[in-house]
Structure 1
């Protein structure tokens, strides 16, 4: 099994010492289209398919279903990567949500943007993404049509996930290296990058903030 394929395995299947996720893992209902697509992705990766090729939607499949499945998988692996360093990301060590080139302010679209500590910001961020995934009007659970703004919502989700990676690489890379989980973190980010770029779900602003990292993957 390749390193990337191992990220899609259950805890029982893994042969490494990866910790549990920061947030509960989002699962695809057995028998659903997304469950089948995930199994196909996992099998292809286990068979040696390159990450860059793995993000391409299989011929004949619904592209929005494929995007929904990959978004959920990226969310799960992002949570896993944050769980590696969560104990080091505290109110005292990370009083601001920072990346290499930005300090991020939290906004829920209702009040003024506010400065939060990194752990509080990431908690808000993951709760918000979780709410989007659990909302059937955004991620349909049956044969309902996807909303017209589906891809714009996905773009916003990806933009926010990239902020978590930006903080990990900026503030906790020494911890990542010391824990020997750098390959898993790099591989998870690479999947998100290739997926977002292939479907034009990432903006130039987000690319510029992470370019120094993308160039090293």
Structure 2
């Protein structure tokens, strides 16, 4: 026995699906327009060479507010790196929008990265890591000043290399707060006009700072 389909009910369902699809598209478009409008009305802070890389089409934008945690951020940054592009990290705070270049390696990368002639500071979650100690992000200015004083005693002006790592579920809102603190502190550092980059923001799941060697065995 053939099953009877009510034409009126079928038409109603089709109309509802179409209306829902149109509403979804309109809302999504509205959200993007509102986000772009919010950024266009704010003061934009660019990291070193951001605009140059952007003009050369080497940047893929990542809006941090569209993510929830560090794992989601690293997933997007790894995808971007594997495309041969730099991550343009974008987030806002009050009337300030930050556009920062974030460096990450593609997981398939088999080469050797060289970090010579860099002042390296590792930050995990919201703490500065210096084995065996950890310090609050509030001490970042002191750490930068120490390295800056070292800079003044050598010929080369070395850029700051901020290696950021976090627990996979560390909230993106707290990451934005830490990044804002890092960027604002770095802005207060004066470097030579000939220096190409003032700092690099590098992201990874893994620590970069080696732990101290184990104690010597007792004789």
TM bin (shorter chain): under 0.3
TM-score by length of 1: 0.28
Q: Which has the higher contact order (CA 8 A, sep 6+)?
A: 1
Query: Relative to total residues, which structure has the larger strand share, 1 or 2?
Result: 2
Query: Relative to total residues, which structure has the larger helix share, 1 or 2?
Result: 1
TM-score by length of 2: 0.28
